[in-house]
Amino acid sequence: MTRKVVLTIAPTGGMATKAQSPHLPVTPREIADDVARCWEAGASVVAVHARRADGLATCDPAVYSEINTLIRERTDIVLNNSTGGGIHGDLPVRLDDDLWELDWNERIKGIEGVGCEMATLDSHTITASFEGREHLVTTTPRRSRWFAEAMAERGIKPEWEVFDLGHILSDFTTLTAEGLDTAPYYCNIVLGGHRAFQGGLPYTPKILQLLVEHLPEGTVWGVSGIGPTQLPATTHGLLLGGHVRVGLEDNLYYSHGRLATNLELVERAVRIITELGHELATPSEARGMLGLRQLDAVPVSTPRRRSASLHVSAGTPG
């Protein structure tokens, strides 16, 4: 059955650097340019991570505001700001020789960016291991509640980001049942990051099916696949009735040994979505599906957004 699919582009993230891929956008202008290209190709939501002038991670509201403003001047894409930040830059605080923590007081600044419509809410505590360092990402039950309340006060929709079944059944289910978010809830299921995120799960068809079956009633959900799991996990998510996220935040490669661009990853996702008989949701349609307020005015300074029914160039096969 034909349905509308929300396609999210995650262009930057908080881990990779230009040294790992020259295609990674890090300055506000680079991010906005990349997002505009992906919007033209069919993306309707952008997962925004901010970077400092040196290319390292930050949740500085001024940087988020600059990025969001540049994107909004050219597109009507849904703006979803990160509260995870990243493993470098302003975020890590050293606890001892072997253990670091991502600074909570820095992370919470992610909801202060001008124009923010959605924001990530990782309502659990995990350990992220990168470059020989362990980083605590500490979101206790009290912090989860504070985040949900703060987003509600600001009219920001949480993106409940989950890595395993416990993340679904604990604070996500508890806080939504208490009314700290209103249906439709939006959940981003992240799979394939188990080597870097303690408690994360690999992608298998049975694991994804299990997680989907335990989502709270009224949940709209999508799949993010880390690294080589991006293609199979997101395609399987489509078959189960979910939505799709792609981008260099999750996966730097188009195929084995060949670096990708964000546009290539979006174009491939568009081909899969349409070949399966579905249609791309416009940003306006995505807002309706996610329970977001529509924009008061749609930007007119860019070429008309490509229709979902039009052919998207194939790029390099892979």
What is the arithmetic mean of pLDDT over 84-107? 94
Structural domains for the chain: 4-290 (3.20.20.70)
Exposure class string for 139-178: b at 16+ Cβ within 10 A, else e: beeebbbebbebbeeeebbbbbbbbbeebbeebbbbbbee
314 C-beta neighbours (distance < 10 Å), count: 11
Question: 228-246: per-residue pLDDT in tens?
Answer: 999 999 999 999 999 999 9
What CA–CA distance (Å, rounded) separates 42 from 229? 22
> Is 59 within 8 Å of 87 (Cβ atoms)?
no
Question: How do residues 194-220 score in pLDDT, each as one tens digit?
Answer: 999 998 999 999 999 999 999 999 999
Instruction: Evaluate if residue 2 carries a pLDDT over 90.
Output: no
Q: Residue 307 pLDDT > 50, yes or no?
A: no
**Residue 96's pLDDT is what?**
87
170 SS3 class: helix
- The answer, yes or no, to whether residue 316 has pLDDT greater than 50, is no
Does residue 317 surpass a pLDDT of 60?
Answer: no
* pLDDT computed for residue 300 by the predictor: 58
- Indicate the burial class of 237 (C-beta count within 10 angstroms; 0-12, 13-18, 19 or more): buried
Residue with tokens 């600059």: 66
Least confident of 40-44, 48-52, 81-85, 131-135: 131-135
Mention every residue, 6+ apart, whose C-beta is less than 8 A from residue 101: 92, 93, 95, 135, 136, 137, 138
Distance CA 12, CA 39 (A): 15
Per cent of the chain over pLDDT 90 is 90
Tell me the per-residue pLDDT of 147-185, one tens digit each, with 9 for 90 and over.
999 999 999 999 999 999 999 999 999 999 999 999 999
Work out the pLDDT band at 262, boundaries 50, 70, 90: very high
Q: How far apart are CA 276 and CA 281, in angstroms?
A: 14
- pTM tops 0.85: yes
Region 78-99 average pLDDT: 94
Mean of the per-residue pLDDT values of the chain? 93
3-class secondary structure, 214: coil
pLDDT in the model for residue 297: 82
